[in-house]
Chains A and B, each alone.
Chain A
Amino acid sequence: GQQVMQIPQYQHVQEGEDFTTYCNSSTTLSNIQWYKQRPGGHPVFLIQLVKSGEVKKQKRLTFQFGEAKKNSSLHITATQTTDVGTYFCAGHSGNEKLTFGTGTRLTIIP
Chain B
Amino acid sequence: DAGVTQSPTHLIKTRGQQVTLRCSPKSGHDTVSWYQQALGQGPQFIFQYYEEEERQRGNFPDRFSGHQFPNYSSELNVNALLLGDSALYLCASSLGLAGPYEQYFGPGTRLTVT
Interface residue ranges, A against B (CB under 8 Å): 1, 30-31, 33, 35, 41-45, 48, 50, 88, 90, 92, 96-103
Contact residues in A for B102 (Cβ distance below 8 Å): 33, 45, 48
The interface size of chain B toward A, counting residues with CB under 8 Å, comes to 23
Q: Is the CB of B42 within 8 A of A103?
A: yes
Q: Is the CB of A102 within 8 A of B43?
A: no
Q: Which of B33, B56, B100 neighbours the largest number of chain A CB atoms within 10 Å of its CB?
A: B100
The answer, yes or no, to whether B105 is at the interface (CB within 8 Å) is: yes
Q: Is the CB of A42 within 8 A of B106?
A: yes
| CB nearest neighbor in A for B47 | A97
Q: How far is the CA of A28 from the CA of B72 in the complex (A)?
A: 32
Q: Is the CB of A43 within 8 A of B45?
A: no
Q: How far is the CA of A45 from the CA of B48 in the complex (A)?
A: 18
Contact residues in B for A102 (Cβ distance below 8 Å): 41-42
Q: A31-B99, A50-B100, A100-B42 are in contact. List 12 more A-B contacts (CB 8 A).
A: A30-B100, A33-B102, A42-B105, A43-B90, A43-B92, A44-B105, A45-B102, A45-B103, A48-B100, A98-B103, A100-B35, A102-B41
